[in-house]
Amino acid sequence: MSFSNKLKQMVKLCGLSFGAFSAICIYKEDTKFYKTYVMPIVHLLDPEQAHQFSVIINKYRLLPRSKYNDPDSLKVQAFGSLFNNPVGIAAGYDKNAEAVLGLNDMGFGFVEIGSVTPLPQDGNEKPRVFRLKKDEAVINRYGFNSDGHEIVLKRIYELRESNYNGIIGINLGKNKTSPDPIGDYVKGIIRFGPVANYLVINISSPNTPGLRNMQGKKELYDLLVPVVQAAKSVPNRPALLLKLAPDLSFEERKDVADVINKKECQVDGLIISNTTISRPNSLNCKEEAQQTGGLSGKPLKELSTKMIADMYKLTNGIPIIGVGGICTGEDAYEKIKAGAVVVQVYTALVYEGPTLVTEIKKSLDKLLAEDGFKTIGEAVGKSS
């Protein structure tokens, strides 16, 4: 055999061996394999393309279903639903309800869709997502790119009609140029209420001008009165949650607590937190950090945990979904002990890959046992 033929054979063999090795690692849900090989290859794509690519993978359920069986210790009763485990995917990943089944296969205990706006809109100009690799963080300024209520609602009805009974939260946004922002949220509640386990009033994304002002005392009161009323009118009334920004000062946090403690403004829970517009000095990626938008991932972790603890105390223990910089079971456990009843992740998936969900669950189960807790519920708020 000539030298060049031998070389071709060798290359073929190496390719086949690596293919077989990859298949085994994917089947065995090998975390190191994803972190060392798969995610760096995915990162050759620009961040928005990589996001779209992974949504397609989940849409067509191209990854094997996680083999981990959720233990009883991880079951949580909250927001009127029984969660098989407390780890959910945060809003912004599956904005248009395309990937729910794949996310469920990955082992998530619940999926939050959105933010969804009443009318379809494109969002901001590209590029609008940036990786801060050394910080394991992301900055995004998507600006509510959404297929709109009608299309997203149709997808969720199809899921429900196919007997999918996993927990679905719908995160509601407003159109950029809406003349009636409050009306946008009310429409979302009426339309999605019958198919959602919980609804989220998102007034904390930094990429829609003026949105975050709705967290002000008077603005919040004016929003919550009609919104709470609308939620009450929906058959099978889903839980109503409010998603907050981590950049509120302590005074502003107190104002929010005062408003939601009023009977006519009572929501069923809070999601803490959205991305931050702050840029901690500790960031390594100084250049990328200058991009406008919301920062998520590791550098957000302490800020959001502190806010969970504050709001848990200020509201005398309102149920909270804790989110922001969770990369490990320990991070999730910190949020639970600060007052979160369930948690969500997003940015860490960009760096760790899909096996992260199982890793967090395994570690949470172990941490609970080490502290002598039988369930997640027993650990909620224990460090507050």
Ligand X SMILES: Cc1cc2nc3c(=O)[nH]c(=O)nc-3n(C[C@H](O)[C@H](O)[C@H](O)COP(=O)(O)O)c2cc1C
- What residues line the site for ligand X (CB under 6 A)? 90-92, 95, 114-115, 129, 138, 140, 142, 171, 202, 205, 243, 274-275, 296-297, 300, 323-326, 345-348
Q: Residue 95 or 191: which CB sits closer to ligand X?
A: 95
Cβ atoms < 10 Å from Cβ of 54: 22
Residue nearest to ligand X (CB): 92
Q: Residue 174 or 187: which CB sits closer to ligand X?
A: 174
Rounded Cα distance, 341 and 7, in Å: 58
Sort 236 into a burial class: Cβ within 10 Å, 0-12 / 13-18 / 19+.
exposed
Beta carbon of residue 364, minimum distance to ligand X (angstroms, whole number): 15
Beta carbon of residue 121, minimum distance to ligand X (angstroms, whole number): 12
Backbone angles phi, psi at 355, to 5 degrees: -75, -10
Cβ atoms < 10 Å from Cβ of 132: 24
In what order do the strands lie in the sheet containing 137-140?
129-132, 137-140, 294-297
Spell out the residues 6+ positions from residue 16 whose beta carbon is closer than 8 angstroms to its own. none
Single-letter amino acid, residue 171:
N
38: DSSP letter: I
Beta carbon of residue 372, minimum distance to ligand X (angstroms, whole number): 28
382: DSSP letter: T
**Active site annotation includes 54:** no
Q: Residue 146 or 315: which CB sits closer to ligand X?
A: 146
Spell out the residues 6+ positions from residue 103 whose beta carbon is closer than 8 angstroms to its own. 58, 89, 93, 94, 111
Beta carbon of residue 19, minimum distance to ligand X (angstroms, whole number): 31
Q: Residue 101 or 132: which CB sits closer to ligand X?
A: 132
Q: Residue 81 or 305: which CB sits closer to ligand X?
A: 305
Q: Residue 104 or 205: which CB sits closer to ligand X?
A: 205
Measured between alpha carbons, how far apart are the two ends of the chain, in Å?
Answer: 73
Place of tokens 């909620």: 380
Rounded Cα distance, 171 and 113, in Å: 6
CB 106 within 8 A of CB 94: no
- Which residue out of 205, 273, 296, 304 is catalytically annotated? 205
Beta carbon of residue 20, minimum distance to ligand X (angstroms, whole number): 34
Beta carbon of residue 188, minimum distance to ligand X (angstroms, whole number): 13
Q: What H or E segment, with its residue span, contains residue 101?
A: helix 100-105
Spell out the residues 6+ positions from residue 40 whose beta carbon is closer than 8 angstroms to its own. none
CB 85 within 8 A of CB 74: yes
Rounded Cα distance, 188 and 192, in Å: 6
Beta carbon of residue 55, minimum distance to ligand X (angstroms, whole number): 11
Cβ atoms < 10 Å from Cβ of 150: 11
Q: Residue 275 or 373: which CB sits closer to ligand X?
A: 275
User: Would you name the residues annotated as active-site residues?
Assistant: 205
